[in-house]
Amino acid sequence: AAAVVANSELARKELGWTPQRDDLDLIVNDALAWERILTTKNSVRN
């Protein structure tokens, strides 16, 4: 089975960065929605 493993601890410690989301399904859905918006905008321009 496929798995994605990520640990944001180093970014938290070194950069003081905190992720806004920790739910992979939500992150992927948001990214796909953003790509759909960009695709629509780009197709209107061309």
Confirm whether 38 is domain-assigned. Answer: yes
Confirm whether 46 is domain-assigned. Answer: yes
Confirm whether 9 is domain-assigned. Answer: no
Supply the pLDDT for residue 3: 78
The mean pLDDT value for 4-17 works out to 89
Domain count, the chain: 1
Residue 24 pLDDT exceeds 80: yes
Q: How far is CA 12 from CA 1, 6, 20, 43, in A?
A: 29, 13, 12, 38
Supply the pLDDT for residue 36: 96
Confirm whether 14 is domain-assigned. Answer: no
Residue 45 pLDDT exceeds 80: no
Confirm whether 34 is domain-assigned. Answer: yes
Residue 38 pLDDT exceeds 90: yes
Determine the structural domain holding residue 39 and report its residue range: 21-46
Q: Which of 4, 1, 35, 2 is nearest to 22 (CA)?
A: 4
